[in-house]
Structure 1
Amino acid sequence: MAFFPEFRYLTRMTGLSPTLRMILLTALLLAFGGFGGLMAQIAHVPMPFMLGSLASAAIATALFQHGGLSGYRFPMKFRTGFIGLIGVMIGTQVQPHLFDEAAGLALSIGALALFVVLAHGGNFVIFRKIGGYNPPTAFFAGAPGGLMESLVMGEKAGADLHLLTAQQFLRIILVISVMPTALSLWLGHPVGSAAGASLGPQGPVPLFALLMIVLAAAGGLGLAKLVHLPAGQITGPLLLSAALTLSGLVDLHLPFWLIAVAQVVVGVSLGVRFAGMSARMLGRSIWLSALSVGWMLLLGAGFAVALMQVTGLDFLVLMISYSPGGVTEMSIIALSLAANPALVSLHHVVRILFTVSLMGLAERLLPVRKA
């Protein structure tokens, strides 16, 4: 941060209205996150704009959470708009040949139910026996998906909300940080953006095309809200974009710079989640989350290897589909690695549905409530 004395000065904003302060701080964090993304790209880091911006925002939050960033919350409605753009991008990847894999797809999606039960059970043991968390905190912290649902249900059940929030966000952050590098090591060569792959056209995009992209995202978000789609921020625009693509009426292609900006927004919104965590709490939570994520990734790799043999689906696609990050973040990874993002997104939406259903059932049947 010594290279950015302006950041220290600007985060001391006083005498401003809360709304203006939030806008200025958000713009500042996004600019800093964008710089971090560019540095990560130069260093050939996988998914540079999301991981670089996440790291930059986390550093800024750690340094200024008791100063200029005190009380700051990232505007989630702003984030939702960019998640909608990512959904549009994924929808453009839906092609007729996707339906040729219907038989294998049904088997891999069905196996997610067993994965969720095993992953959740192993996580409960980790957080309860090793972490020493009380039963409701261990149970809901171990949920392999459904971040917001786990927080709401966990709070009602008597979980420690600070620990629960830390573990759930660290699950997503660690998965998206580990996955691209782990896959490169597994396959023996760089993949995706680290190998020079591009997420979108590099040249200029006509203004009309940009307008259609924005309208597709807005229409998809409205559709998701109307029919209460699960993970609607991404699935609504995805479905609308897919329908437009399959119809042949519209040819939507997001430019590279717009996808990079969307990654920066998602990365910064994750990085600021480190606010309010003490060094001791963060260290303990990271250690437990590393055990939990390690367990789930090993389990997911086992499912991917087995399913690859019987379904004919690609290992890379299956591995990303069985990695328990967030729907948005894992979809971005699939885009970055050119690993059938539409199929990956479908798996993650189903994983969340299975996880939320399991949490609701177990909350009623198992002794996870605080005495």
Structure 2
Amino acid sequence: MLEKILTTLGLVLIGGVGGTIAHWLQTPLPFMLGSLVSTALIATLFGRVIPEGYVFPQKFRLVFLAVIGVMIGAQVSPDLIEMLPAMLVSFSAIVLFVGLAHSGNYLIFRHIGGYDRPTAFYSATPGGLLESITMGEAAGADIATLTMQQFLRIILVITLVPIGLSFWMGAPVGSAGGMTLTHANPSDFSHLHEVVLTALVGLLLGKPLRLPARHLTGPLFAAALVAASGLAVLDLPNWMISVCQVVIGASLGMRLGGLRGHAVLRGAGLGLLSVGLMLGVGLAFSLTLEHVTGQPLDVLMVSFAPGGVTEMALIALSLNANPALVTAHHIWRIIVTVIELALFGRYVQRRTL
């Protein structure tokens, strides 16, 4: 027992170092990605130092997963709700985008990549990284491959979109342009009890409601209702959110230990096809909506790009656009994806039994 605890703490510490280095290098999703890469390298290159039969403790991981769920749901603020009437057309387009992107990606991973049905289905989602990984694991997907493809989606979108827009505008955009959404007061714990209470309510309601990946989606939907109604302020210091990402990244990195160079290269090729398809579909919607909504093409493109919510909001700031508008589209994309997974995920799981 002690050996398992020490191993877990050691992996989290290694993940924290990797996350800090990634943060210094200004990579996308630095603390989660840096933690994932560093622990995956340990599992792959120095697997003998890890006790035989060791598995990252799931109950420990789920605590931090619930907090992340709350912070995702907290993005649905009253301000965003007030903006809904003006975004009905683009929000409807997001629903179509999710369906088209997911279907096209599934064909890529299933028929070109040769992945099994659950792995292809959950790798193909155009959003909801943690939700897809959590639900995919329950459905019997190859968790290492699924995790790799979901992170490649985020990395490729977050890398390609800012680079493309930077060339177009002639100046860096996003975090590369110095934009930040960092919490102003790292010692402010005044809303910690509200976050914990919301997470507990979400966890308690998730089981009777039979929510998929309830440890994440329960707190997520509970936080969305609380934040949208203005009942409480769900906010935490940025460093605490980073710690949650480090722990989750470390748990995922341990599952990537079995991947080798050929699998990674193949996944990268499939990821480029998938991201190319999604950006193409997003561009088509953006060109159409530009004339309907009056929003600039670049802002619409950022709203449809299936990348991380934070980085897309930073890019919006770089474009002098309303980050709340862009964030609203990405939160809606994630919600639609989670609902779609809940509706069709069980069908995919039944087809594999």
Please report the TM-score for the alignment, with normalisation by the length of structure 2. Answer: 0.75
Deviations 1:196-247 (A, max 9, x none): 41332334224x5333332232223223334234554344334444554455
Identify the residue that residue 178 of structure 1 maps to in structure 2: 156
Aligned residue runs from structure 1 range 122-271, under 5 A: 122-127=104-109, 129-131=111-113, 133=114, 136=117, 140=121, 143-144=124-125, 146-147=132-133, 149-150=135-136, 162=142, 165-188=143-166, 189-192=172-175, 195-206=178-189, 208-230=190-212, 232-245=214-227, 250-271=232-253
Measured in 2, the distance between the counterparts of 1:230 and 1:93 equals 20
Q: For 2:152, give the aligned amino acid.
A: L
The 10-residue stretch of structure 1 (314-323 or 61-70) with the greater mean CA deviation from structure 2: 314-323
CA contact (8 A) 1:91 1:237 kept: yes
Measured in 1, the distance between the counterparts of 2:332 and 2:202 equals 16
After superposition, the CA RMSD in angstroms is 3.7
Distance 1:304 1:172, change over 3 A: farther
Of the three residues 337, 345, 352, the one matched with 1:351 is 337
Q: For 2:125, give the aligned amino acid.
A: P
The 10-residue stretch of structure 1 (47-56 or 87-96) with the greater mean CA deviation from structure 2: 87-96
Distance 1:270 1:116, change over 3 A: same
Deviations 1:228-284 (A, max 9, x none): 345543443344445544555543421121111122123223322212224333433
The answer to whether 1:280 aligns with 2:262 is yes
Measured in 1, the distance between the counterparts of 2:88 and 2:349 equals 28
Aligned residue runs from structure 1 range 80-95, under 5 A: 80-95=62-77
Distance 1:321 1:73, change over 3 A: farther
Identify the residue that residue 13 of structure 1 maps to in structure 2: none
CA contact (8 A) 1:176 1:333 kept: no
Distance 1:87 1:334, change over 3 A: farther
5+ residue gaps, structure 2, are: 127-131, 167-171, 318-322
Structure whose alpha-carbon radius of gyration is higher: 1
Identify the residue that residue 169 of structure 2 maps to in structure 1: none
Identify the residue that residue 7 of structure 1 maps to in structure 2: none
Report the secondary structure of 2:191's partner residue: helix
Q: CA deviation at 1:295?
A: 2.5
Measured in 1, the distance between the counterparts of 2:210 and 2:262 equals 39
Measured in 2, the distance between the counterparts of 1:52 and 1:212 equals 29
CA contact (8 A) 1:58 1:274 kept: yes
The answer to whether 1:59 aligns with 2:41 is yes
5+ residue gaps, structure 1, are: 1-16, 156-160
Report the secondary structure of 1:45's partner residue: coil
Q: CA deviation at 1:35?
A: 1.2
Of the three residues 4, 7, 31, the one matched with 1:49 is 31
Q: CA deviation at 1:297?
A: 3.7
Report the identity percentage.
34
Measured in 1, the distance between the counterparts of 2:204 and 2:48 equals 37
CA contact (8 A) 1:61 1:69 kept: no
CA contact (8 A) 2:119 2:145 kept: no
CA contact (8 A) 1:120 1:142 kept: no
Report the secondary structure of 2:83's partner residue: helix
Please report the TM-score for the alignment, with normalisation by the length of structure 1. Answer: 0.72
Identify the residue that residue 3 of structure 2 maps to in structure 1: 21
The answer to whether 1:289 aligns with 2:271 is yes
CA contact (8 A) 1:230 1:349 kept: no
Q: CA deviation at 1:77?
A: 2.8
Measured in 1, the distance between the counterparts of 2:38 and 2:223 equals 32
CA contact (8 A) 2:206 2:217 kept: yes
Q: For 1:83, give the aligned amino acid.
A: L
Q: CA deviation at 1:31?
A: 0.9
Q: For 2:173, give the aligned amino acid.
A: P
Distance 1:359 1:301, change over 3 A: farther
